[in-house]
Amino acid sequence: MQRHLVNSLSKFNHDLQQEVIIRMLELINESYVFPDVAKKVEQRVLKKLHNQEYADLLDPTQFSQQITKDLQEVSKDKHLGLKYFEMPKGQSEVEKKKETENRKRLLSLHNYGFEKVERLPGNIGYHKTLKFFETNIAGNVAIASLNYLANTSAVIFDLRDNTGGSADMVALIASYLFKGRVHLNNFHWRKDNRLEQVWTNSYIQGTSLQDKEVFILTSKRTFSGAEDFAYSLKVLKRATIVGERTSGGAHPGGFQRINDHFSINIPIGRAVNPITNDNWEGTGVTPHVEVPEEHSLHVAQYMILTNLIKRSPDRDIMGDRWIQLKDDLERILISADINIECIIKQKNM
């Protein structure tokens, strides 16, 4: 039975603590992807509540942070977490509409997660994203950013600061990298035991990038949908991953409202790759070439230039420039104690 919760946080007290926890656990039991794990989470949190281990956490931010820590300690799931909103989240139709409009305005001011698209020296395309937002609001920007790369000689996707997002945006971007439809991923949803397949699109607007060599930069912060992109392209042998092992979150979901100030992010499904029959949950995506993230861009550029010098049909007119740039990068990498021979060996293993 759903309980009526206090909506004002003018005074965050033990009663409200308990109400938030009880409703949160109800929602987790109802929809978390693994019901047996949900029960273990419930047991841990209720035990701590009974032992009054949350009693001193009367600051709502600290309270939500501790609850999240406990949830993730049991579940090992980095998507599962309680969030406190200082500004109350209203539920009237007028308030919902205003929140939606404000979100769209905010996303537009952040260019819908597309941080930078440019040509690096040597005609190497560089595409940096911070988030993969839904294609119905960010699709046009995504398409414009990909078409900008049409005349580059190779492409680097920088996901080092990308915290994830929408599977349909992953599919849209990947659609420019393949010929024809390609099966990227599956999602198994707890509700109705439903299977959803994710494929690249059969039609793209503009120029395909299917013939270009692709590199992806990753870090320990790379998470969720960004890991989906890296994992899928790695398994399909379409990209070379350079950088650090990613964070390890493969369970999609979303926020469910507890009251006006608290919501719980609950994974309600799991990704299952059609080739590996597995995912990156808890393990992350392992790069082909593991280097500290701060050196990954230079390493990717070096590897691309090496390949262009050997194989590109444009080496007759770009070869001298590429050789110069490669030599410059080699000096930078040596000064950073990056072993270039090991880089090449890692890629070929």
User: Model confidence at 326, in pLDDT bands (50, 70, 90)?
Assistant: very high
pLDDT at 90: 66
Residue 283, SS3?
A: coil
Tokens of 232: 């899928």
Per the prediction, the chain carries an average pLDDT of: 93
pTM (2 decimals)?
Answer: 0.91
User: Per-residue pLDDT for 109 more than 50?
Assistant: yes
Percentage with pLDDT > 70 across the chain: 95
Distance CA(218)–CA(266), nearest Å, equals: 25
User: Model confidence at 348, in pLDDT bands (50, 70, 90)?
Assistant: low
pLDDT at 21: 97
Element (H, E) at 138: helix 135-147
Element (H, E) at 80: none
Q: Counting beta carbons within 10 angstroms of the beta carbon of residue 290, is it exposed (0 to 12), middle (13 to 18) or buried (19 or more)?
A: middle
Tally of residues, the chain: 349
**DSSP state letter for 210:** T
**256 φ/ψ angles, rounded to the nearest 5 degrees:** -120, 135
10-32 pLDDT per residue, tens: 578 889 999 999 999 999 999 99
User: Model confidence at 9, in pLDDT bands (50, 70, 90)?
Assistant: low
User: Per-residue pLDDT for 97 more than 90?
Assistant: no
In the block, tokens 């230039």 appear at: 305
User: Per-residue pLDDT for 4 more than 60?
Assistant: no
Q: Write down all domains in the chain, each with its CATH number in brackets.
A: 14-84 (no CATH), 104-295 (3.90.226.10)
Per-residue exposure over 230-241, b if at least 16 CB sit within 10 Å of its own CB, e if not = bbbbbbbebbbb
